[in-house]
Structure 1
Amino acid sequence: MVVAALSAVVEWYDFTLYLFMATVIARVFFGHSAASVLTTLALFAIAYLMRPLGALVFGHIGDRYGRRTVLLASMAVMAVAMLETALLPTRAQIGSGAGALLLALRCLVGFSVGGEYIGITAYLLEGAPPRRRGLVVSLAAAASEIGALLAVAVAAITVSLFDGAALDSWGWRLPFLFGALLAAATLVARSTIRESPAFEQEKRAHAGRHAPLRLMLRTQRPGFCRTFAISALASVTYYVGITYVPTYLSSVGGLAERDSLWLSTIAAAVVIVVTPFAGALSDRVGRRFALLLFGVLSLALPVAMFTFMADVTVLRAVTGAVVLAVLAGSIRAVSTAATAEQFPVAGRLSGLAVGATAATTVFGGLTPYLAQAMTDASGWAPAPGVLVAAVAVVVLPVLWWMPETAPVRAVSPRPEASPA
């Protein structure tokens, strides 16, 4: 379980490193034109769309052949993709074909990340003590933030150590080579883990099942709806409340880009700290109550914080970023366990592939763009917070009627009075 949780560091390092190296990659693979950075970011967006496909493929494999198989296969794909990226020829060497090769490898990374998320979530959930599932599963979410911080650090060190010519010539390869080595080491560590006991039991009981996704679509439709709703709330609070905040502060408040990125680092650190506490809270009070609490807070806090941050000072920016990070990290921590618990063992990965990954793709990739578009069109500072609140309004009724999935601590029964 420790190996599975910590490997989320590698997953998110490899996936986000591309963003932090975007300006360098733009020069190396697409030249010095004004559109090179935009093209580089477009490749990231296309690769992001590969996550649902990867989740579907690996979800089927995991429900048929085991969680361990998915954890090994997805990490092997990632290791190969990162190594090949580090060895890619550049635009100066082969022309425009370099960009096409880069796109293919980024799609491969996105494909593997789709399998990583659902594989780690299911493996941790099925191996954790029942009353500690929220805490244990939330550790994967915290580890992914560590991976993002590691990617920032490695990118910053690389850019600082090399001059422009050396960086564009060969220095840019080192962070990707480091990622490949991390993935290879994780793959070796994963080869020692055992299969999920819950999957082994399910396999023995229903050895003849061959279509887990079809089974889930036929029998677990309410679970798909709840999973999509929970993941939508988690995604919009995370991608608007954390990843979009630096852009908001720079474009609306005029904060320097360097200072905005430092705030992102602070927000990531806050998420790492708050995530296990939120997961543990959901073990004590239940997933439903915890999600309702954070969902209600999502109605008011984002609107208030974006309004508060519009008149930018360092104190206001830090306060708003930290409050939004606490909210987003808490929802993400609880949602990780809550979504996996919506499905039985027989089709858990397939269910997550359709419900959770689809919502993440829509509300993760699209909402920062919508937030900026709404702010530009209206000139209204709270617009991004209103977007979060709108999603919360739709999701809260689903959470209200959601059955509890956590084995919350039972209250000791009141002793009966002695007979007269």
Structure 2
Amino acid sequence: MSAAARDANAVSRRSMAIAAFSTVVEWYDFTLYLYFATTLSRVFFGTDSSSLLLTLGTFAVAYLMRPLGAVFFGQLGDRYGRRSMMLVSIGLMTTATLLTALLPTREDIGPWAGIALMGLRCVMGFAVGGEYTGVVAYLMEGAPAAKRGLVTSLAAAASEVGALLAVGAAALVVNLLPPSDLDAWGWRLPFLFGAAMALMVWIFRTAMQESPDFLRQQRERSVPRAPLAFVLKHHRAGIARGFAISALGSVTYYVGIAYVPTFVVSVNAASEAAALNLAVWAALVVILVTPVAGAASDRCGRRPVLLALCLGSALLPILLFDLMAGTSGASAWLGAAVLASVAGGVSAVGAVTTAEQFSGEGRLSGLALGATAATALFGGLTPVLAEYWVGLSGWPPLPGVMIAAVALAVLPVILRMPETAPATR
């Protein structure tokens, strides 16, 4: 299909806005858990030294459910349409978020509280596995060809709006409530707000148009009966490239942004309230950077922009984590801003680039096998590993070493990657 034909079939701005807004809810809930990690550790796992690691470990275990959810929902989306799949996934998210807000605590039911929290996080991870890839594919398929990077970057920008809402809600509750009320009931309020937002998204999604690319497949009778087998046969290289790009995006985001509030508290560089303020600053930076990076990839190509971001990820994080561990508040804000800029850029360009590795047939399943698998390994596991290694070694720059190592491993993949931006091929 020509670029002009694709542009003529682009979905309405209303449907695109609904899809982009969906990632607000998704990232609100997932980052809210990280920003409340120290509080949840006390409420669900007790006050001993291992509680924070158990809380972060629960986050990691839930993340391992993302590939399973991505495969399940990816096949739904590839066989029955993007819209139907996204309705089911957001419904499951709504239920899991609401039940989390209503959970009894360790004081009520003992160790079963932590087990129940882990179970609900796994349900959430399963649902989110289909969410982000579904939204990214929908935005890319519905955007004009020359603006795919910019439009698809809205998923990354909107997700950071969700993170900003999460850190804002956490900061508001932490600053307004005394510790006793925070642990007793205050932590529930932001999760209840998340459940309400998720329900609102489900209602909005009922009015969304179907992806024009999936409608094309239906007209041409090319919808794959076995999407996983299709992409494994035709898109193995795309799966590998998607894995590499998403590994870089995940480690820069979850170590370079989401873990930073826990890091500065853990190394005694800031209080919980100050750490949340730092997270707000990082979220604002990402919201500003992502559309710029997405538009740059439309103009200059995906490969050059990703290459520059990968080099920055290799050279800067060790120094930046050392800066944030110091006593200077200005250094912490500078370090957080630069890390957020790099991570936001990778997320923006990586989203459209990974989706462009596949044809419309089987695209969601391809993203599940490549991008989502990498996110599970390099997103969910890296914060708990960073916390463990910093505590074990006593050397604050270690999280920066983790980011740099992944960037150096991904660099050869980006150097050999073919260009996918329509305007620059």
Asked if TM exceeds 0.5, the reply is: yes
Does residue 143 (structure 1) correspond to residue 148 (structure 2)? The answer is no
Within a 5 Å distance, the mapping from 1:280-299 to structure 2 comes to 280-299=295-314
Which is further off, 342-351 or 146-155? 146-155
Residue by residue over 1:220-277, the C-alpha shift from the partner in whole angstroms, topping out at 9 and shown as x without a partner, is 1110111111111112222232234445545557444543332222111101111100
Question: Is the contact between residue 253 and residue 311 of structure 1 (CA under 8 Å) also seen in structure 2?
Answer: no
Aligned pair in 2 of structure 1 residues 39, 195: CA closer, same or farther (>3 Å)?
same
Q: TM-score, normalised by structure 2?
A: 0.88
C-alpha distance in 2, partners of 1:306/1:23?
20
Question: Is the contact between residue 8 and residue 147 of structure 1 (CA under 8 Å) also seen in structure 2?
Answer: yes
Within a 5 Å distance, the mapping from 1:99-248 to structure 2 comes to 99-163=114-178, 166-207=181-222, 209-248=224-263
Within a 5 Å distance, the mapping from 1:317-328 to structure 2 comes to 317-328=332-343
Give the corresponding residue for 1:82.
97
CA-CA distance at 1:14 after TM superposition: 1.8
Residue by residue over 1:311-346, the C-alpha shift from the partner in whole angstroms, topping out at 9 and shown as x without a partner, is 542222222221121111111110010001001111
Determine which of 279, 300, 315 is the counterpart of 2:294. 279
Give the corresponding residue for 2:3.
none
CA-CA distance at 1:296 after TM superposition: 2.2
Length, aligned pairs only: 410
Does residue 19 (structure 1) correspond to residue 30 (structure 2)? The answer is no
Which is further off, 52-61 or 228-237? 228-237
The AA in structure 1 aligned to 2:330 is L
Determine which of 364, 374, 389 is the counterpart of 1:349. 364
Give the corresponding residue for 1:315.
330
Question: Is the contact between residue 253 and residue 309 of structure 1 (CA under 8 Å) also seen in structure 2?
Answer: no
Question: Is the contact between residue 78 and residue 223 of structure 2 (CA under 8 Å) also seen in structure 1?
Answer: no
Residue by residue over 1:76-95, the C-alpha shift from the partner in whole angstroms, topping out at 9 and shown as x without a partner, is 00111122223334445444
Which is further off, 380-389 or 71-80? 380-389
C-alpha distance in 1, partners of 2:107/2:391?
38
Aligned pair in 2 of structure 1 residues 380, 178: CA closer, same or farther (>3 Å)?
closer
Q: Secondary structure at the residue paired with 2:210?
A: coil
CA-CA distance at 1:208 after TM superposition: 6.2
C-alpha distance in 1, partners of 2:389/2:106?
37
Question: Is the contact between residue 253 and residue 340 of structure 2 (CA under 8 Å) also seen in structure 1?
Answer: yes
Unpaired runs of 5+ residues, structure 1, are 411-420
Determine which of 386, 389, 396 is the counterpart of 2:401. 386
C-alpha distance in 2, partners of 1:89/1:57?
30
C-alpha distance in 1, partners of 2:178/2:86?
38
C-alpha distance in 2, partners of 1:386/1:164?
35
CA-CA distance at 1:200 after TM superposition: 1.0
C-alpha distance in 2, partners of 1:81/1:184?
11
The AA in structure 2 aligned to 1:289 is P
The AA in structure 2 aligned to 1:40 is T
Give the corresponding residue for 1:415.
none
Q: Percent identity?
A: 57
Q: Secondary structure at the residue paired with 2:140?
A: helix
Aligned pair in 2 of structure 1 residues 337, 40: CA closer, same or farther (>3 Å)?
same
C-alpha distance in 1, partners of 2:47/2:314?
44
Question: Is the contact between residue 227 and residue 355 of structure 1 (CA under 8 Å) also seen in structure 2?
Answer: yes
C-alpha distance in 2, partners of 1:168/1:361?
29
Which is further off, 168-177 or 329-338? 168-177
CA-CA distance at 1:390 after TM superposition: 2.5
CA-CA distance at 1:42 after TM superposition: 2.8
C-alpha distance in 2, partners of 1:22/1:256?
14
C-alpha distance in 1, partners of 2:41/2:224?
47
Q: Secondary structure at the residue paired with 1:345?
A: coil
Aligned pair in 2 of structure 1 residues 243, 90: CA closer, same or farther (>3 Å)?
closer
C-alpha distance in 2, partners of 1:388/1:271?
17
C-alpha distance in 1, partners of 2:231/2:344?
29
CA-CA distance at 1:26 after TM superposition: 4.0
Root-mean-square deviation (Å) = 2.5
Aligned pair in 2 of structure 1 residues 408, 208: CA closer, same or farther (>3 Å)?
closer
Question: Is the contact between residue 249 and residue 312 of structure 1 (CA under 8 Å) also seen in structure 2?
Answer: no
Give the corresponding residue for 2:66.
51
Give the corresponding residue for 2:82.
67
C-alpha distance in 1, partners of 2:114/2:260?
30
C-alpha distance in 2, partners of 1:240/1:361?
13
Aligned pair in 2 of structure 1 residues 267, 346: CA closer, same or farther (>3 Å)?
same
Which is further off, 352-361 or 290-299? 290-299
The AA in structure 2 aligned to 1:361 is A
C-alpha distance in 1, partners of 2:231/2:93?
28
Q: Secondary structure at the residue paired with 1:366?
A: helix
The AA in structure 2 aligned to 1:386 is V
C-alpha distance in 1, partners of 2:165/2:155?
15
